[in-house]
Amino acid sequence: MIVAGRREREAAPDSGDVLRRRSAVLVTGASSGIGFATAVRLARRGTIVFAGIRRQVDGEALLRENSARIKPMLLDVTDETSVQRARTRIEGLTEFRFDALINNAGIAVAGPLELLPQAELRRQFEVNFFAPMALTQAFLPLLRASGGRIVNVSSIAGKMSVPFLGAYSASKFALEAASDALRLELRPFGVSVSVVEPGDVRTPIWRRSSEASLRLLEQMSPDERAQYEAMTRAMIAAAQRAERNAIAPERVAQTIERALLARRPRARYLVGAGARLRLGIARLHESIRDPLILGALGMPRSRPSREAAAQRETV
């Protein structure tokens, strides 16, 4: 069993010994990246993993990794009916105990906040914030019965916001705040809540967000392009550099496993040296932090002078 009940946890070692009853978990966003790696890792240690996916073909890839313990489940985390269907399916199976919800599904909407369509801002929060809350509400009765655990996959972006990822950071800031409240609210019931905060991870999310930024750039008016094109391309180049140095999703999966096995799970788990560095930067005063961020992204670090602005207007 991956996660012990409250009394069992007090005596259980951190080694994750298999206990008497079979354990099951739900991992959302298991089609690729962190979710895929987590599903495979947990299944290999004997856990039944319900893997939330959006396409049948993604389930076939998971089954090739472990057909005995991975149970692919078509799940749209933003659709209430889909979430309730998943709850009903898991609740109806009695041969195991449901011990953990891993809220991993996420997207990154990128672009200047001035120009992001309202629909895109709402979609960012629907996937990254409202969906984890809906899943938590749906599965808490099962987790309360088992003394189980919730692991919310956030990001170091939930501690420090950067240009052109303001919507993404805002959704992760919100998830962090909600997780803090949940951790205190659920403690009397023996349900723990942990947040996992990776730095840059080699997943498709950043390639997709870069592609979305380019599409947004193409839709800009000439004036908007004049204002934002250089910064947008600098941000895309920075994202590409970060992806080359990013950690593997398996590193995050290993940390999620630790959060499930620890006798006393921590409130937060930073993953990777990059995350620790950026947390340190986040704690600096804005007068120091802002130039550091802009310099790292290759963006202007100071406002243009009035003379330079007037000169541009007369050209």
Residue 269 is a catalytic residue = no
Residue 73's alpha-carbon distances to 29, 135, 254, 308, in angstroms, are: 10, 14, 22, 57
Closest CA to 273 of 265, 281, 285, 284: 281
Which residue among the candidates 168, 173, 228, 269 is catalytic per the annotation? 168
Which residues are catalytically annotated?
Answer: 168
